[in-house]
Structure 1
Amino acid sequence: MHPGPEKVLETYSVLETSWILNGKGEEGDKKFILSPYKKIMAKRPNVVMIVADQWRFDSVGYSGNTAVKTPNIDFLSEEGVSFSNAYCQNPVCVPSRSSFLTGWYPHTNGFRTMHHLMDDDQPNILKTLKQSGYHVYWGGRNDFLKISADSSKYFSTRDDQYAEFFARYTKQKSKKNDGDLKKTEYEYSHYKGIREDINNIDAKQIRNAMEFLEEGKYGEEPFCIYLALSLPHPPYEIEKGWFDLIDKEEIPDPVRLTEEEWERKPSIIRGIHDNQKLYNWSDEELKQMKHVYYAMGTKLDYHIGELVNVLKEKELYDDTIFVFFSDHGDYTGDYELAEKNQNTFEDLLTRVPLVIKPARSTELKPRKTDALVELIDVQATIHDLLNIQPQHTQFGKSLKNVLAGSDKHRDVVFSEGGRLEGETHCMDAGHSPANEYWARTTEQEKMPQHTKAMMIRDEKYKFVYRLYEEDEFYDMRADPLEKNNQIQNPEFQQLIVKYKERMLRHFFETGDVVPFKQDKRF
C-alpha cells in the first residue's frame, strides 16, 4: 500500500541527518577499496538493473542540484561509481532500450523508431543471462520486444502489471473522441499537477520484486532482477506528500531562448514549441512543472530504497551488482517545451543518470566520475563482471576499469534519431489534435523537421549532423544550455570537419553485425 504523506515526511526527515541504507553511522571519505576475497566466489554475483523512464541527469541529487531529493540513489552513488557524463543512444524509449539491451546502436539493425521492436531470435542481455544460468526476473514494461515474440526466452519470472494498466488507460482514452473537445481546449503540456488518485504501478512492481527476494523464489540460482519502470515519465503529476518534500526556492529558472537563438534551432523543435504553446507560461508556472517532476523522482527513489533494504535484510546486497539509469531525459519546461523529441539531442534529453554499485568481489574506487559513457556500455560491463562472453557482436565497452579508478573511457559519445525522406513507416504520426502527443508527432510528418540526425559529443563540444537542414555546433563549456548554434562560426570549421570524419569512422565500425552462428552447410 502506498505510504501516506505523514509517513513519507517522517522517513525523509530522518534523511536530513543520516542516510537511509548507510548502516555505517558515518559519512567519511572512502578510500581505494580492493576486494576482501582472495578467491572467486562460489556463487556468481546477483544483478539488479533498474531503468527509470525519462529521468534527466540534473534531476538526481548526485548531480549537485540542491532542489532534488534522491537520498537512496545518492547512497548507491557513494557505495559505487556515479557517472556525470552518461549518454543514451536515442532520446526516446523503444530505440534507447533496444540499444542498451543489445549493445547495438540504433542504426546497426534498424531499431530507431517507437514502433519497430525486436524479434526473439535477436540478442539481448536478459536472454544471455538466462542462458547462462541466471534466474531472470523481469518486472515492468516491455519497450523492446515484439508482441509476437516468445518472451519466455528472456525471463524465468515475469511481472507484467503494465499490460493491464496500459490496456485500461487506452480504453479510458478511447472513450474521448475528437468531438468531445473544442480546438481551443487542446492542451499539450502533459501537466496535471498535484493529484491523489494516481495509480502507483511502480510501487507495486518494486514490491513484487521485494516479495520475490523475501521468499527466495530464485532458488539456488543467481538472479537478475530487471525493473523497467515508468517514473518520472509524464504526465507530470504527483501526490501532495511527495510535492512538499521539494524546496521550491531551489528550483532553477526555466531555460528560455531569444527569437534570434530560436532561428538557429532545428525546425522540429520550433514546430513543437509553436504547438505546445508553453511560451505563454510564466517562469513560476514552468518551475511548478519542474517541481512536480522532481517530486516524481523522489517518489521512485523512495521505492528503490525499499528494494535495497530488502537486499540488505536478506544479506544479498554485498554480492549484488546494482545498476540504476534512465533510458533518456525530458525537457520539463526548459526551452518552453514538455516531454521529449526523437531527433534533437540537447543534454536535457541525452544525458542521463547512471550509478553502478558492483559486488564486493570487484575492485572498486567509489566516487563520481566525468568519464564519457554510453548506455550500451552497461550490458558490456555486466557481462564482464560476470565473466560471460555474449555470442554476438556488440559495441559496448566494459566500465570495469572505471569502477577500479580510471576516469578515461571513451573519447566521444553518440546519439541519433529521425528518418530518411520516404520512410513514412518510421514516424510516430497519425494522431488527431485531440491526442496529447499531437504537438510532437504532427511535426514528424514533415520534412526537414523529422530529418535523420546524429550527435557526436566530447568533453568540450557537441556537433549534430542533420541530413536535410542546417547542422548544429555548440561550445559546451561556454554555452552549456546550448542556446547559441555556432555552426557558421569560422573559428570552429576545422573542428567540425574532424567530427564529421569521426562520425564516418563510427558508421564504418558499427554499420552492421554478422551473426556468430554460421549456416549448417559450413
Structure 2
Amino acid sequence: MKQMVVYGALIMLTMSCVQTTNSSKSQPRRPNVIFIFSDDHTNDAIGVYGNTLAKTPNIDRIAAEGAIFNNFFVTNSICGPSRATLLTGTYSHVNGFTTNGSKFDINQLLFSRLLSQSGYETAWIGKWHLGTLPGDAFDYWHILPGQGHYFNPDFITRDNDTVRHEGYVTDIITQVATTWLDQRTADKPFFLVVGEKATHREWLPDIQDLGAYDDVEFPLPETFYDDYQTRFAAANQDMTVSETMTLDNDLKVNIDFENTRPSPDGMIYKRLNDEQRAAYKAYYQDKVSKEFNEKKLKGKALAEWKFQRYLRDYLATANSLDRNIGKLLDYLESNGLAENTIVVYGSDQGFYLGEHGWFDKRFIYEESLRTPFVIRYPGVVAPGTKIDQFLLNVDWAPTLLEIAGVNVPEELQGQSFLPVLKNGGAAWRDAIYYHYYEYPEPHRVMPHFGLRTTKYKLVRFYGDKDFWELFDLERDPHELENIYEANQDVAMALKERLDELIAEYDDDSAAQILANEME
C-alpha cells in the first residue's frame, strides 16, 4: 500500500468511481440521506435526551427540527455487530457478525447495493470496523482501518491505498464527506454514511476541547455503588470505573508524551505532531496529573475522581462530534440541499456513564440496550415530534429502502418505520428481542439473550453458568433486583413470548439452549 501525508482542510479524494461536477446541484425527486453514525455515544450524554450539562446543540437541533425516538433499541450492544445490522437489516446470527472479532461477509445482501442499483449514489466515510473492506457495497468509501486514530489518522481508499490526514479525526471525516458531496454526480440522489470514531475509548478530545468540562461537577449516578446482589453476571464483569478503567491508558494520568506506549492500535501518542503534543502535555501532564499526584486518593475518593475525569474526557470528545454535525447541517443549507435531504443521527449502541459503576456496553440492561436516534425529514416529519414506539436497529435498512422507493426484500428481519414517521400510530411491537455473544474478553460480560416489554425484562445468561433474570421495569427502572425466582407465573408467560421471538428471528442457538434446559 502507498503512504502519503495530506494536510488540513483541502483534501484530494481518490474519486475513480465518482463523476466530478460543478457546484450547482439539481434537486433529485427522491430524498437524499445522510446517516451520521457515532460510536459509543449514549443518549444519556445528549441534551435533548435530558442531559443538561452536555453541549450538543446540533444533535438537539436535528431533534427539534424533526423527531426524537425515545425507545430505539439495539439487537446486540457492541460496535461491529451494530454496523453489520445497519447494513443487512438482520440479526447478528443471520448476518454472521456476532462479535467484534468476526469478519463481515461483504457479499451478502446489503441495502446499500439495492440503493445503488435503484439510482442512488452511495458513500461510507469514516469508521467502518467490520474486518473486511466495503468493496462494491458503496460507490465510494474512505474508511478508518480498524478503530482508527483520533489524531493524524490513516484512511483506506477505494483503491486500497492508505493515506494519512493531518489533524483531528472528526474534522477530517467532515472534510472528506463535504468534498465528496461537492464532487458527487449532480443528477443522482445520494446516500452517505458518516461513520464517526467519537466517542470511543480512549476518549482523546480535540485540542480546542481540552478542559471543556473542568468546571463541571457531575452528579454521581444513583447506582454507581451497585453491589450486584441477585445478579451473577453483573457481579462478575470486568468493566468498572473503579477497577477496570486505567489511570494511564484511559485517563492520561502520568503519561510521558515524549515517549510512546503500546496499545491495540499502535503507538497512540507517537502520532501527535509538536503542537498537539505540547497541548496534551500542558493539559494532562501539567494540570490533570499534577492534581492527581497531589491528592493521593484511595478507595471511594479515587473511584469518584476517576468518574469525574472519565465524564470530562468523554463529553469533551463529544464536543467535536456535535460541532461537526453542525458543519454538515450548515453545508446542506449553504448548498441548497437541506429541504431534500434527510439527516439521521444515531449511535451503534448505548454506553455506561458510571451507572452500576461501569463504562462500556454489552448488557441487555437499559443504558446499553437503548441508543440515541433523531431524524430530520423536511416536509414529512413535523418539528418537535416525539416517538415512543419500540424500534430496533434491524429496522434502519428497510426504512431507508422504503424512503428511497425500493422494494424491501423478505430476507430483512426489520420493519420499515416510515409509516410511524409519517403519521405516528399505535405501538407495533409488544416486545423486542436481544442476543449478545462476545465472551470472555474483553470485559467478561456473559453471553445472554432475552426480551424487553413495556413492563418487564427477561434474560437468559449462558456459558460458564446458566441462569435467568427478571426485572419489573416499572417498579425497578435501574434493574437492581432480579425477581425471577419469586415470580414464576410472570416468567413463564414471558418465556412463551420469548420462544415466539426466537422462532420469528430464526435464532437456532438460543432455541437449542432452551431446548436443552427442558430436557
Same fold? TM cut 0.5: yes
Residue aligning to 2:74: 88
Residues 247-326 of structure 1 correspond to what in structure 2 (within 5 A)?
249=216, 251-256=218-223, 261-266=228-233, 269-273=236-240, 276=244, 281-326=302-347
SS of structure 1 residue aligned to 2:40: coil
Deviations 1:114-139 (A, max 9, x none): 12233232011222211221111210
Residues 53-72 of structure 1 correspond to what in structure 2 (within 5 A)?
53-72=39-58
Deviations 1:437-485 (A, max 9, x none): 5xx2xx3xxxxx63x3113112222221223432222222332222222
Q: Distance in 2 between matches of 1:201 and 1:326?
A: 17
SS of structure 1 residue aligned to 2:388: strand
Q: Distance in 1 between matches of 2:386 and 2:169?
A: 31
Whichever residue aligns with residue 379 of structure 1, its letter is A
8 Å CA contact 1:135–1:218 kept in 2: the answer is yes
Q: Distance in 2 between matches of 1:131 and 1:472?
A: 46
Q: Distance in 1 between matches of 2:336 and 2:151?
A: 38
8 Å CA contact 1:365–1:405 kept in 2: the answer is no
Residue aligning to 2:431: 412
8 Å CA contact 2:448–2:461 kept in 1: the answer is yes
Structure 2 vs 1, CA of residues 334 and 237 (structure 1 numbering), >3 Å: closer, same or farther?
farther
Q: Post-superposition shift, 1:286?
A: 0.7
Pick from 186, 189, 195: which aligns with 1:219? 186
Whichever residue aligns with residue 500 of structure 2, its letter is R
8 Å CA contact 1:254–1:287 kept in 2: the answer is no
CA RMSD of aligned residues (A): 3.1
Whichever residue aligns with residue 177 of structure 2, its letter is A
Q: Which runs of 5+ in 2 are unaligned?
A: 1-6, 10-26, 155-165, 247-298, 509-519
Structure 2 vs 1, CA of residues 162 and 205 (structure 1 numbering), >3 Å: closer, same or farther?
farther
Q: Distance in 2 between matches of 1:121 and 1:155?
A: 12
Q: Post-superposition shift, 1:308?
A: 0.9
Structure 2 vs 1, CA of residues 339 and 88 (structure 1 numbering), >3 Å: closer, same or farther?
same
Whichever residue aligns with residue 357 of structure 1, its letter is R
Structure 2 vs 1, CA of residues 465 and 224 (structure 1 numbering), >3 Å: closer, same or farther?
same
TM-score, normalising length: structure 2:
0.73
Residue aligning to 2:168: 200
Q: Distance in 2 between matches of 1:110 and 1:164?
A: 20
Structure 2 vs 1, CA of residues 486 and 319 (structure 1 numbering), >3 Å: closer, same or farther?
same
Structure 2 residue 404 is the aligned partner of structure 1 residue 386 = yes
Whichever residue aligns with residue 126 of structure 1, its letter is S
Structure 2 vs 1, CA of residues 61 and 363 (structure 1 numbering), >3 Å: closer, same or farther?
closer
Structure 2 vs 1, CA of residues 240 and 165 (structure 1 numbering), >3 Å: closer, same or farther?
closer
Q: Which runs of 5+ in 1 are unaligned?
A: 4-40, 172-197, 419-425, 430-436, 444-448, 514-522
Structure 2 vs 1, CA of residues 259 and 326 (structure 1 numbering), >3 Å: closer, same or farther?
closer
Residue aligning to 1:158: 141
Deviations 1:307-356 (A, max 9, x none): 11001111111101111100012223332223233xx2222211110012
Structure 2 vs 1, CA of residues 277 and 386 (structure 1 numbering), >3 Å: closer, same or farther?
closer
The share of aligned pairs that are identical, in percent, is: 25
Q: Post-superposition shift, 1:417?
A: 0.8
Residue aligning to 2:415: 397
Q: Post-superposition shift, 1:241?
A: 3.9
Deviations 1:381-418 (A, max 9, x none): 11111111134511212122221242523222222112
Q: Distance in 1 between matches of 2:167 and 2:433?
A: 35
Structure 1 consecutive aligned stretches of length 4 or more whose deviation exceeds 6 Å: 167-171
Residue aligning to 2:30: 44
Residue aligning to 1:474: 471
Structure 2 residue 455 is the aligned partner of structure 1 residue 460 = yes
8 Å CA contact 1:320–1:358 kept in 2: the answer is yes
Structure 2 vs 1, CA of residues 162 and 168 (structure 1 numbering), >3 Å: closer, same or farther?
farther
Q: Distance in 2 between matches of 1:111 and 1:68?
A: 33
SS of structure 2 residue aligned to 1:226: strand
8 Å CA contact 1:117–1:145 kept in 2: the answer is yes
TM-score, normalising length: structure 1:
0.72
8 Å CA contact 1:123–1:392 kept in 2: the answer is no
Residue aligning to 2:391: 373
Whichever residue aligns with residue 222 of structure 1, its letter is P
SS of structure 1 residue aligned to 2:35: strand
Structure 2 vs 1, CA of residues 42 and 100 (structure 1 numbering), >3 Å: closer, same or farther?
closer
SS of structure 2 residue aligned to 1:219: coil
Pick from 338, 347, 352: which aligns with 2:359? 338
Q: Post-superposition shift, 1:141?
A: 2.2
Q: Distance in 2 between matches of 1:392 and 1:503?
A: 22
Deviations 1:11-65 (A, max 9, x none): xxxxxxxxxxxxxxxxxxxxxxxxxxxxxx9621111011100111211111111
Q: Post-superposition shift, 1:219?
A: 2.7
8 Å CA contact 1:77–1:357 kept in 2: the answer is yes
